C-alpha cells in the first residue's frame, strides 16, 4: 500500500504541473480529462478509447466513468501491453479518474477525482457503480476522501447546474476543491470548442479562488473528440 500511495503521489504531482498550463487549446488534441466508457454511460470500450488517444497524439488523459474505475483499469492494462509491443512508440499518460455525484449547496453536482489511489479505503464508497447517500454524498466529504487517497478534486462543468456557478465555485473552494472544469463545450459544437462566455466566467472564478483550470470533452459517444 505504501508503494502504491507513493506512485499515486508522484502521479498527482505530475498532474498538478499539467493543470497549471491547461488552456483553451489543450483539449481535445493534447489533453482530455473527462471521458466515459461502457463501464458507465459511454459507448467506447477502453481499448477503443486508448487507440483513439494514441492516434490523436494525446499527451495525457483520464477516464472518468461514473462511480467506477473499471474502464481505467482495463485501459491501464491495455496501455501497458501496448507499450511493451511498441518500445519506440509515443503513448499518453493515463491518470486514474472517476466522476462522483455530490451535494453542494443543496444542489447535485459532479466532482471529478484524479490521480488517486484506486485501492484507498476512502474511495471505496464512491467506486460501487452508483451514487452514495448521507454523509458520503456531501461534497465536503467527497473532496476529503479524494484528498485522503492522494488525488485532486475538480468541479465538473460548473455552469450546468440549477444553482449558479457564482455560488457553487466559492463554496467548493471553501471545502478545499483543487480545480474547476474551465474549458467545456456546453453546446456540443463540432468541432469541439469551449463556450466563450462560460469559460471566461469560470476562469475568473478560478483565478479569484486559486483553483486549477481543467478541460475535457465529457465524451459519451464513439469519439473522444466530441461529447456525443
Read off the pLDDT of residues 78-123 as tens digits, 9 standing for 90 and up.
999 999 999 888 999 999 999 999 999 999 999 999 999 999 999 9
Give the residue-averaged pLDDT of 17-30: 97
Closest to 177 (Cα-Cα) out of 217, 135, 212, 205: 212
The arithmetic mean of pLDDT across residues 46-53, rounded, is 98
List alpha helices for 59-99, DSSP H: 70-85
Which of helix, strand or coil describes residue 216?
coil
CA atoms within 13 A on the CB side of 150: 24
Instruction: Tell me the average pLDDT across 64-68.
Output: 98
The set of cell numbers assigned to 30 is 493534447
pLDDT at 162: 97
pLDDT in tens, 135-193: 999 999 999 999 999 999 999 999 999 999 999 999 999 999 999 999 999 999 999 99
pLDDT score for 7: 53
Instruction: Flag whether pLDDT at 10 surpasses 90.
Output: no
Confidence tier at 12 by pLDDT (50, 70, 90): very high
Reported as a single tens digit per residue, the pLDDT across 150-160 is 999 999 999 99
Q: Are 206 and 182 in contact (CB under 8 A)?
A: yes
Half-sphere exposure of 199 (CA within 13 A, CB side): 16
Tens digits of residue pLDDT in 210-227: 999 999 999 999 999 999
Whole-number Å distance between alpha carbons of 79 and 64: 16
Residue 81's pLDDT is what?
A: 97
pLDDT of residue 62: 98
pLDDT at residue 1 above 60?
no
Cell numbers placing 193:
470548442
Handedness of CA 135, 38, 95, 31 (dihedral sign): negative
| Residues 191, 217 contacting (CB under 8 angstroms) | no
- The pLDDT score that the predictor gives to residue 4 is 43
Question: Considering only CA atoms, which of 133, 134, 176, 126 is closest in space to residue 155?
Answer: 176
pLDDT over threshold 70, residue 43:
yes
Rounded to whole angstroms, how far apart are CA atoms 21 and 15? Answer: 10
Beta bridge partners of 62: 95
Give how far the C-alpha of residue 73 lies from the chain's centroid of Cα atoms, to the nearest Å: 15
Domain 2-215 in this protein, CATH class: alpha beta
Phi then psi for 6, rounded to 5 degrees? -65, -40
Rounded to an integer, the average pLDDT of 3-9 is: 54
Q: What is the pLDDT of residue 89?
A: 85
Ranges of beta strands (E only) in 53-131 are 60-63, 93-95, 97-104, 107-114
Q: What is the pLDDT of residue 9?
A: 82
Q: Which H or E run includes 32?
A: strand 31-35
pLDDT in the model for residue 3: 34
Amino acid at each position: 500500500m505504501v508503494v502504491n500511495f507513493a506512485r499515486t503521489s508522484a502521479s498527482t504531482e505530475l498532474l498538478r504541473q499539467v493543470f497549471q498550463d491547461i488552456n483553451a487549446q489543450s483539449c481535445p488534441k493534447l489533453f482530455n480529462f473527462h471521458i466515459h466508457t461502457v463501464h458507465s454511460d459511454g459507448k467506447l470500450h477502453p481499448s477503443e478509447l486508448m487507440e483513439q488517444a494514441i492516434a490523436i497524439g494525446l499527451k495525457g488523459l483520464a477516464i472518468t466513468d461514473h462511480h467506477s474505475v473499471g474502464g481505467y483499469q482495463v485501459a491501464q492494462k491495455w496501455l501497458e501491453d501496448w507499450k511493451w509491443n511498441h518500445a519506440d512508440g509515443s503513448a499518453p499518460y493515463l491518470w486514474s479518474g472517476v466522476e462522483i455525484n455530490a451535494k453542494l449547496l443543496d444542489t447535485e453536482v459532479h466532482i471529478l477525482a484524479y490521480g488517486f489511489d484506486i485501492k484507498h479505503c476512502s474511495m471505496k464508497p464512491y467506486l460501487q457503480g452508483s451514487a452514495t447517500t448521507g454523509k458520503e454524498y456531501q461534497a465536503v466529504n467527497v473532496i476529503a476522501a479524494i484528498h485522503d487517497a492522494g488525488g485532486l478534486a475538480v468541479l465538473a462543468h460548473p455552469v450546468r447546474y440549477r444553482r449558479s456557478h457564482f455560488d457553487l465555485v466559492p463554496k467548493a473552494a471553501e471545502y478545499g476543491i483543487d480545480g474547476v472544469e474551465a474549458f467545456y463545450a456546453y453546446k456540443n459544437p463540432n468541432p469541439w470548442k469551449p463556450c466563450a462566455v462560460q469559460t471566461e466566467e469560470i476562469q475568473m472564478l478560478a483565478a479569484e479562488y486559486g483553483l486549477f483550470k481543467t478541460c475535457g470533452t465529457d465524451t459519451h459517444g464513439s469519439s473522444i473528440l466530441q461529447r456525443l
